[in-house]
Amino acid sequence: MAYQTIRQEYLQIPVVTRAYTTACVLTTAAVQLELITPFQLYFNPDLILRNYQVWRLITNFLFFGPVGFNFLFNMIFLYRYCRMLEEGSFRGRTADFVFMFLFGGLLMTIFGTFVNLVFLGQAFTIMLVYIWSRRNPNVRMNFFGLLNFQAPFLPWVLMGFSLLLGNSIIVDLLGIAVGHVYYFLEDVFPNQPGGGRWLRTPSILKMLFDTPEEDANYNPLPEDRPGGFAWGEGQRLGG
Please report how many Cα atoms fall inside a 13 Å half-sphere around the Cα of residue 166, on the Cβ side.
Answer: 0
Neighbouring CB atoms inside 10 A of 168's CB total 12
Architecture of domain 1-209: Up-down Bundle (1.20)
Give exposure, 40-58, as e/b (b: 16+ Cβ within 10 Å).
ebbbeeeebeeeeeeebee
Rg (CA), the chain: 22
In whole angstroms, give the CA distance from residue 85 to residue 103.
Answer: 16
Residue 99, classed as helix, strand or coil, is helix
Q: Which of 68, 132, 93, 33 is nearest to 213 (CA)?
A: 93
User: Which element (helix H / strand E) includes 150?
Assistant: strand 147-150
What lies within 8 Å, CB to CB, of 37 at 6+ separation is 31
* Amino acid occupying residue 67: V
Dist. CA 223–CA 10, nearest whole Å? 32
Query: Which of the 8 DSSP states describes residue 36?
Result: S
Q: Which amino acid is at 44?
A: N
Cα 143 to Cα 149: distance, rounded to the nearest angstrom: 8
Regions of the chain with pLDDT less than 50: 214-216, 218, 220-239
First to last CA, the chain: 42
Q: Are 183 and 128 in contact (CB under 8 A)?
A: no
Task: Give the pLDDT confidence score for residue 103 in this predicted structure.
Answer: 96
CA dist 134 and 229 (Å) reads 48
List pLDDT tens digits, range 119-147: 999 999 999 999 999 999 998 988 777 77
- pLDDT tens by residue, 223-238: 334 333 333 334 434 4
Beta bridge partners of 141: 149
Structure confidence at residue 227 (pLDDT): 39
DSSP states of 192-204: STT--------HH
Three-class SS state of 145:
coil
Residue spans of the domains in the chain: they are 1-209
Cα gap 15→31, rounded to integer Å: 24
